[in-house]
Amino acid sequence: MTVRLDYTLALDTGSACGVTQAHLAAEESAFQLGLRQVRAAADAGNLGFWKLSQDEGAAEAARRLAASVPDDVHDILILGIGGSSLGGRAVYEALGGPPELRVGRRLHFPDNSDPWRLARLLDTLDPNHTAAVAISKSGGTVETAASLLVVRGWLREAGAPMNRHLMVVTDPERGSLRALVEAEGLRALPIPANVGGRFSVLTAVGLLPAALAGLDVHGLLRGADAMRQRCEQEQLTDNPAGLLAALHVLHHRLYGRHVHVLMPYADGLRAFAAWFVQLWAESLGKRHAKDGRPLETGPTPLAAVGATDQHAQVQLFMEGPRDKLVTFVSVDAPEHELTIPGEEGPNAYLGGHTLGELLTAERRGTAMALATDRRPSLTLHLPKLDAPSLGGLFFLWEAATAIAGELYGIDAFDQPGVELGKRLAFGLLGREGYERERREVESFAAARQPLVC
């Protein structure tokens, strides 16, 4: 059993949505070229994510480091943001159970450097029973640096030795976190230089949090590797990542369906949906084409959760602009089930059904309702919400992102748009070397009459 993509309702024959088998066939050669380029970059060592699933050594290293953490460490702070947080959190939430209800060691992801959360968190925890993992590839991420300074001060004040309470995941050679590792003799795991943040969940970035929570790191890689093999198929209709990419790009290009919704019918995949949003937005939202042409393109990824969002966003999906392609995710056999007790009266029809059956009926009803109004959807079927399925799902979307980047003609692996805001913030914080930015912010503010109500 493996992850399956059902695309019946994303083609004209299923939902009269205008994208045909012929359109898909016409995309075959662009897909093949794109796949070849992605695989060539992977083979040349420039695109590390493609081969991570074969690196059992990384899983083993994460497992060993986690095993060295004493049993009396009950809480782990994962200090990272964006790609250094979302993947680990997606693993932990999907496989570690609902957030408020964890038993055993608890992981916390105070990614935002929000004092409201971090101050309360530190108030609640005992530094002698807490460890932290600082995750930043460059080592220079400001939010992570700030949180780490606070947490190190907190640990130090309690006399907690750093080599016992602080672990690091960073570049194997460079950066200020690497320097800290050397200076203080900290335990550390590397992020390979050829793996970008948002493609790093199957490195120590995701594997160490998973191992620390006692989750099945080998299963994650095994599922990802099985999916990798399917995503290397050269026939488009045999390649789930190719289909996922091509269908999203075709619906966008031909009909302006640029809002790409991921809607798992599973609470455990909420954090996964947030991971997808980063992956899709940051990879595909680009000002320039690869060849430098101005483009200002990029689909808008949207996270939703079924059935909850049937009472929130589905009204818009059903009646609003025809600019959306929805991908449902089904967990076909939920690990925990509940049977609804029977009762007389208007709710009698529910008796004997399971909650899982209710979610399935709602998902199918929603997909069909969209289709009958010529609104397309895809459905990803997970056999279970377990490590192999989740690993497969990660690789599937990463591969689809890389291929979609080729089909859109953009570089899916950079993020130049986040630099300016960061530099201006450095100016405001008085960082050395950013004096010009500080003056820019000041003159920007001075030049504008504030309009406030």
Catalytic positions, please? Answer: 282, 311, 422
Please report whether residue 452 would count as binding a second copy according to CB under 8 A.
yes
Binding mask 181-200 for a second copy (x = CB under 8 A): ----------------x---
Please report whether residue 176 would count as binding a second copy according to CB under 8 A.
yes
Please report whether residue 330 would count as binding a second copy according to CB under 8 A.
no
Q: Return the range that interacts with a second copy (CB under 8 A); candidates 66-74, 221-229, 266-274, 401-409.
A: 266-274
Given the structure tokens 């970035």, which residue do they identify? 205
Please report whether residue 20 would count as binding a second copy according to CB under 8 A.
no
Compute the C-alpha angle 153/100/209, nearest 5°.
55
Please report whether residue 424 would count as binding a second copy according to CB under 8 A.
yes
Separation in Å, CA 239 to CA 83, 231, 270, 407:
26, 5, 26, 15
Please give the Cα distance from 189 to 167 (Å, whole number): 8
Contact 248, 397 (CB under 8 A): no
- Size, binding site for a second copy by CB under 8 A: 154
Please report whether residue 345 would count as binding a second copy according to CB under 8 A.
yes
CB of residue 371 to a second copy, shortest distance in Å: 8
Residue 60 or residue 369: which is nearer to a second copy going by CB? 369
Among 99, 187, 253, 411, binds a second copy (CB under 8 A): 99
Please report whether residue 115 would count as binding a second copy according to CB under 8 A.
yes
Please name every residue paired with 325 in a beta bridge, in sequence order, or none if there are none: 260
Please report whether residue 451 would count as binding a second copy according to CB under 8 A.
yes
Contact 362, 309 (CB under 8 A): no
Among 170, 203, 310, 327, binds a second copy (CB under 8 A): 310
Contact 440, 427 (CB under 8 A): yes
Separation in Å, CA 415 to CA 136, 173, 292, 297:
16, 22, 15, 13
Residue numbers 380-399 binding a second copy by CB under 8 A? 385
Structure tokens at 104: 């055993």
φ and ψ at residue 327, rounded to 5 degrees? -110, 110
Output DSSP code: residue 109. -
Please report whether residue 282 would count as binding a second copy according to CB under 8 A.
yes
Residue 193 or residue 312: which is nearer to a second copy going by CB? 312
Residue 190 or residue 268: which is nearer to a second copy going by CB? 268
